[in-house]
Structure 1
Amino acid sequence: MKRFLRVVSAAALPALVLGACGSGSGTDTGSTEAGSTGGAASAAASVVNADNCADPEGVKAPITGTLKVGWSAPTSGPLADAVGNVIEGMRARFAVENAKGGIGGVRLEVVVKDDAFNPERAKTNVGELIQKEGVHVLETFGSGQVDAIADDQNDACVPLLFAQASVPAYRDIAKFPWTTEYLPSADVEMGVVVEGLKKKYPNGAKIALAANQTESGQGIANGLKKAIEGTNFTIAAEAPLTDPRTAASSLKSSGAEILVNAGVTTDCLALTQAIGRVGWKPDTVIQPSNCADGATLYAPAGDAADGQQILRWLKDPANAAFADDAAVKEYLQQSAANGADSPTNSYTVNGWAIADLMVDDFTRAAKLEGGLSRLTIMQAARTQDYQPPMFIDGISFTMSPTQAYGVLAFQPFTWKAADKAFAVGGDVIDISSQYDK
């Protein structure tokens, strides 16, 4: 397929230090200046060109007036609230940038089409977004959606940036040069989870695995199974999350000390309530990082959620641990002033951070030869090393021509039911040294 042929070397990317909302609190730790030494230039070289695109000149054409980001997302159905907050956060961040003049005078716009979390509808949406709406960048929610659209999107050479997915397959740069994912790789996240479990259970333990049957859920489940290879941890039982109460009853009988939820957002509260109803209190409960919002996914479960663990990379503006953080204060003021109705919601923060990553990418792309275009946007994305101000200190989003993982560090948090808040559960765990950069 022609997308396999687009991996080449090109010009080095210039450095840019960009703070969200102009605060200067963000850092760009890895980009290199054009004109730097040959070794640095080689390390920062792009891996994307337009030679095999259907319309090479269109891919390289300067973007003027408005840069459109096209979303295919479930704005109806059970995920609508969470996704709505993500889009709300993105629009608020873009509004801040537009008020400053946009990207060299180019305004940023979000165009949304509902896919009801149906991959086939996402595929149709993306065709319409590209052909009818003329979007320059795509965004979507869900690994099934990425799978449905990746071939068409790569063949059209339209960047899919920071997709809300975590399955490792789409991080294969040779196969998907025009696709990047924002959510941490399931392999990386579960690797960190198991490293933490080793400290608590040095002799190993039995794990009960509750798995959503979507690609997102199966990606997490497979990541866990890969991470426990060669350890003393075993999967004592596995159950689908089709019916959380049935899953809870089945897994309780396994006698496992640890419960891992390989689920999507809608499974987090449902599984917790289910284990509460069947009277099961595992010694350790691990929720996926996509289950981030305490107010909606943990507090309603009461004591059943107490002690549950999660890995985070974003600052939580509702958590007292970040009350004095300068970036959080600025985010709260700026997001509320620009249309975000729920600025403390974790999904709103998520959308803001994604938009901040896009602003960094677009700004660096505009400084490349030829200026802002679909081609330079993708080139910039392949060499991005940036810490958005709403990322926890010590955690950045890092890409290279050979490494497409993005988030490679996490901080553990534990839910405290009595306080209705997460408490810091340890220092940032950085496993970037395990990945080729």
Structure 2
Amino acid sequence: MRRPRYLAAATIATLLLAACSNANSGDEPEAAGTGSAAAGAWKAPVADCDDPAAATKQITGTLKVGWSAALSGPLAGAVGAVLQGMKDRFAVENAAGGIGGVKLEVVTRDDAFDPAKAKANVGQLIQSDKVDVLDVFGSGQLDAVADDQNAACVPLLFAQSGVPTFRDVKNFPWTTQYLPSADVETAFDVELLKQKYPNGAKVAIAANQTESGKGLADGFKKALQGTNLELVKEVSLADPAAAATTLSASGAQVLFDAGVTTDCPALSIAVGRSGWKPETFIQPSNCVDGNTLYKPAGAAADGQLVPVWLKNPASTLYAADPGMQDYLAKLKAQNNAAPTNSYTVNGWVIGDLMVDVFKKAAASSSKLSHAGIMEAARVQEYQPPMFIDGIKWKMAPDAPLGILAFRPFQWNAADTQFKPFGEVIDISSKYLTK
């Protein structure tokens, strides 16, 4: 069975996190799902595979994870840090014996952040490199490869994308994504605002006009429904200065940036220059790098909020955290040059999530096979040590969302660092029921 093509509409941004941001909303599973712990068995549809026998064959010797990635061009540095973090996580596992003796290997091919090249790469990774698992950076890349990858029944796990199209398990049963969905993230944002403004508030949205920005804006407006939070203005981010001028006259107490990474400092600076200081300024979760996205805005970024799920190795908040100490010790042993880099953490966590899937597959009746890996990934519930305590990865076949909780952090311009702004808010009850 061939899956319907997803016609990509998103504009590719110039930074990795923008490229990997949440994308469009509107197709997310509703709360009728079952929690992953109670989801029961999900069986991979091997009968639809080009080669059903290959999908159920047990993996021995080496398990290869193939990446199509921007190894050249402006994203190469960030992508390289992600890949190195993952390789280091696999090296640690291999030193401990691998997955029941099966060693893990990362195979990469350069797509220069071009979806057409990613498509060709995935064909080579499957046919020539004989990889067992795939991954890609970016929604456009995922769109380009998903049909071929699903037909071949090679699992594509934790794609650096968040578009809802590929959360359709019926049409894309061999694909999962890592980044949070727009609907989930904005439901958290509105829950945070409800706690801060129990008597209601006026809110405004500045939206990037790509599918990523529109998805965040649509998710935010959807989450506002039925609350006493009033949307008083929505403007385009095409011209941040004009947007700031319009928003300053809106009377809004709250500003929500439905943008991609490059919008975060641009809107901050524009709002600061306009003389407007919203009481609450919420940035998207793809804006978590303090050095590049908040420091340049100076005092204008002070007090801004962002949803976070990963521990920050550069923060003193986690200095005594056992998971952090273990992470830093293992990265040091691997001679990793940038253990506190957020991209390194990202790669390590994706590798850690994969290791958990592989172990669970190996212990299952389907064994360590393409089918077994996919079946384990579909019902995975796991707390990665580098996730903030209280935030788990939760997957269910009818709610394949992964990240369903965040902790709000606030930028302190004087100290040039993020500080906690309250505790973890878990919104999984909106999507998963036990």
TMscore range, shorter length: 0.7 to 0.9
Indicate conservation of the 8 Å contact 1:293/1:347, yes or no: no
| Distance in 2 (alpha carbons) for counterparts of 1:47 and 1:370 | 9
Indicate conservation of the 8 Å contact 1:44/1:400, yes or no: no
Residues 143 and 237 of structure 1: CA distance in aligned 2, closer, same or farther (over 3 Å): farther
| Distance in 2 (alpha carbons) for counterparts of 1:78 and 1:207 | 36
Determine if the alignment matches structure 1 residue 270 to structure 2 residue 270.
Answer: no
Q: What corresponds to 1:415 in structure 2?
A: 411
Q: What corresponds to 2:67 in structure 1?
A: 71
C-alpha offsets along residues 188-239 of structure 1, whole Å, 9 cap, x if unaligned?
1100101111233344444333333443333222211211123344444444
Residues 138 and 239 of structure 1: CA distance in aligned 2, closer, same or farther (over 3 Å): farther
Residues 221 and 61 of structure 1: CA distance in aligned 2, closer, same or farther (over 3 Å): same
Q: Which amino acid aligns with 1:141?
A: F
Higher mean C-alpha displacement, 265-274 vs 98-107: 265-274
The one of 97, 104, 113 equivalent to 2:93 is 97
Indicate conservation of the 8 Å contact 1:88/1:339, yes or no: no
Indicate conservation of the 8 Å contact 1:47/1:382, yes or no: no
Secondary structure at 1:358 match in 2: helix
| Distance in 2 (alpha carbons) for counterparts of 1:258 and 1:271 | 14
Q: What corresponds to 2:353 in structure 1?
A: 357
The one of 39, 42, 46 equivalent to 2:42 is 46
| Distance in 2 (alpha carbons) for counterparts of 1:116 and 1:280 | 40
Q: What corresponds to 1:164 in structure 2?
A: 160
Residues 249 and 69 of structure 1: CA distance in aligned 2, closer, same or farther (over 3 Å): farther
Secondary structure at 2:46 match in 1: coil
Equivalent residue runs for 1:73-222 within 5 Å: 73-222=69-218
C-alpha offsets along residues 51-88 of structure 1, whole Å, 9 cap, x if unaligned?
11011111122222322222223344554443332222
Show structure 2 runs of 5+ residues with no match. Answer: 5-34
Residues 145 and 139 of structure 1: CA distance in aligned 2, closer, same or farther (over 3 Å): same
| Distance in 2 (alpha carbons) for counterparts of 1:76 and 1:239 | 35
The one of 270, 279, 282 equivalent to 1:283 is 279
Q: Which amino acid aligns with 1:47?
A: K
RMSD: 2.4
Indicate conservation of the 8 Å contact 1:269/1:301, yes or no: yes
Q: What corresponds to 2:28 in structure 1?
A: none
Indicate conservation of the 8 Å contact 1:269/1:298, yes or no: yes
| Distance in 1 (alpha carbons) for counterparts of 2:333 and 2:266 | 34
| Distance in 2 (alpha carbons) for counterparts of 1:221 and 1:74 | 28
Shift of 1:324: 0.6
Equivalent residue runs for 1:264-343 within 5 Å: 264-343=260-339
Indicate conservation of the 8 Å contact 2:36/2:394, yes or no: no
Q: How many residues align?
A: 403
Identical-residue share of aligned pairs (%) = 61
Secondary structure at 2:131 match in 1: coil
The one of 363, 381, 384 equivalent to 1:385 is 381
Q: TM-score, normalised by structure 1?
A: 0.84
Indicate conservation of the 8 Å contact 1:211/1:241, yes or no: yes
Q: Which amino acid aligns with 2:266?
A: A
Q: What corresponds to 1:256 in structure 2?
A: 252
Following TM superposition, the consecutive aligned residue runs of length 4 or more in structure 1 with deviations greater than 6 angstroms are none
Shift of 1:247: 4.2
| Distance in 2 (alpha carbons) for counterparts of 1:237 and 1:77 | 38
Show structure 1 runs of 5+ residues with no match. Answer: 5-29, 33-39
Shift of 1:386: 0.7
Indicate conservation of the 8 Å contact 2:282/2:306, yes or no: yes
Residues 297 and 340 of structure 1: CA distance in aligned 2, closer, same or farther (over 3 Å): farther
Residues 131 and 278 of structure 1: CA distance in aligned 2, closer, same or farther (over 3 Å): farther
| Distance in 1 (alpha carbons) for counterparts of 2:177 and 2:133 | 13
Indicate conservation of the 8 Å contact 2:408/2:423, yes or no: yes
| Distance in 1 (alpha carbons) for counterparts of 2:238 and 2:153 | 37
Residues 411 and 307 of structure 1: CA distance in aligned 2, closer, same or farther (over 3 Å): same
Shift of 1:128: 2.7
C-alpha offsets along residues 391-425 of structure 1, whole Å, 9 cap, x if unaligned?
11111111123221111111111111111111111
